[in-house]
Every structure is written in C-alpha cells, then in structure tokens.
Amino acid sequence: MDEIQELVSKGQSFLDDGKFDDALGFFEQALLLNQNDPDLWNHKGIALRSLGRYAEAMECFNKSLKIDPRDKNAS
C-alpha cells in the first residue's frame, strides 16, 4: 500500500468513527503528496462538510470537479 493510500485509509477510519478533525489531517497530508487527485479533494470535502465548514467543503468539491469534470463521486 503506498503512502497516499495509507493516509486515506487512516483518514477514512477516523471519519467513520466521527473524528472529523483527525480525518481532515490525514486527507490534507495526502493532498500534500498529490494535489491532482479528485478523490483526495472529495475526501477532504467530506471531512470539512462533516465539521460544518460548508464553504471550504464546496471549494474542495469544486476543485475535484475541475480536475475531473466527469467525477461521479463529487459530493
């Protein structure tokens, strides 16, 4: 498992446990390694949305769609 996938996996685990701040940290670390992955922007957006940070979440979802306009997973 590569480093990004490991970070996403940990972030997803925290997200599932309702630890949204912790999840956000892992997704942000993954984005430092690859800013051009729409899935990473979606993960960050979901964490931000879960924290009630809706404007920031929308920015992430929009970045995801800008990278891949056909992104079926953009929330």
User: 17-26, pLDDT tens digit by residue?
Assistant: 999 999 999 9
Structure token pair of residue 57 = 């979440």
CA dihedral 60, 39, 20, 3 (to 10 degrees): -120
Kindly report, residue by residue over 13-46, the tens digit of the pLDDT: 999 999 999 999 999 999 999 999 999 999 999 9
3-67: CATH class = mainly alpha
Rounded distance between C-alpha atoms, residue 48 and residue 65, angstroms = 17
12 by Cβ neighbours in 10 Å (0-12 / 13-18 / 19+) ranks as middle
Domain assignments of the chain as residue spans, ordered by start: 3-67
Tell me the Cα Rg of the chain. Answer: 11
pTM: 0.90
pLDDT reading at 71 higher than 60 = no
Say which DSSP state 51 is in: T
